[in-house]
Amino acid sequence: MTNQQGKSENLIGAILAGGKGRRLGERDKALIELNQTPLYEYATRKLSAMTDELIILSPERPSWIENCEAVRWVQDEQFPETEIGPAGGLLAALSGASQTHGASSWVVTVPVDAPFFPETLLDRLAGALDDKARVAIVRCDGRLHPTFGLWSADLVDEVRQLVEDGNRALHRIATEVGAIEVLFDKPEAFLNINTLEDLARAETLLNKT
C-alpha cells in the first residue's frame, strides 16, 4: 500500500452509498446537491485522487453510476430479515478486495454524504498503522467516525463473524478488531449531511472556501 503520491494496486477506495436521507425526504443522499453538485461527485473526485481503483457500495445499483468514469458498483452484503447498514458495504468491500487482490490488500472507506473529508485522509490513516494494526479510523472532536477508515482485507472473516453475532455498528466492529484511532482536528471535515440544517451548514462552509 502506498499513499496518493504513489498509488498501489492493492488499495481500493470504497464509497459507502447505501444510506437514504430519512430526514431529507427519503432522497438518495448521493444525489443531494451542494452548490449544484451532487454529493457523489465530491466523494468520487477526492477518493479517486488517492487510489486507482474505486468502488461504490449500496444495496441496489445506483442510477447515477453511469455518470462516473472508472468506477464499479459492488452490492452490499445483506442478511435475511435484518438491515446491517454500512457494515454490509464494508463486508462487500473487504470480500471483494480479498478475492481480487489477496489478503494483503487494503480498503479505504468514506461515506458518500461527507463532502469535506481531507485530501490527507489516506496518508494520515496509513501513517498511523504499525506492524500489527489492521484498521485505522478517524477520531475528531471527541467522536469516532468509523465510516472513514483504512481496513485490511484479511479482516473479512472476523468482520463477518462479528456481524453474524449481532455487532452491526461500525464503531463496535472497529473496536472489536483493535482499530487505531487517528486524531483529526477539524470537525467540519467529517460533517455528514443528514438533515436540511446539515445541508445549510455545508453550503455555508463551502462558500467560505
Q: Kind and range of the H or E element at 175?
A: helix 170-176
Q: What are phi and psi of 179, to 5 degrees?
A: -65, 140
Q: What percent of the chain has pLDDT over 70?
A: 93
Q: Where are the domains of the chain?
A: 11-208
pLDDT in tens, 124-139: 999 999 888 999 999 9
**42 vs 52: which has the higher pLDDT:** 42
Candidate CATH numbers 3.90.550.10, 1.10.10.10, 3.50.50.60, 3.40.50.740; the one for domain 11-208: 3.90.550.10
* Region 165-183 average pLDDT: 96
Those residues whose C-beta lies under 8 Å from the C-beta of residue 33, and which sit 6 or more positions away, are: 39
Residue 73 confidence (pLDDT) = 97
- Alpha carbon distance, N-terminus to C-terminus of the chain: 31
Predicted local distance difference test score (pLDDT) of residue 123: 96
Mean pLDDT of 99-117: 96
Mean pLDDT of 162-185: 96
Tell me the sheet residues that pair with 135: 151
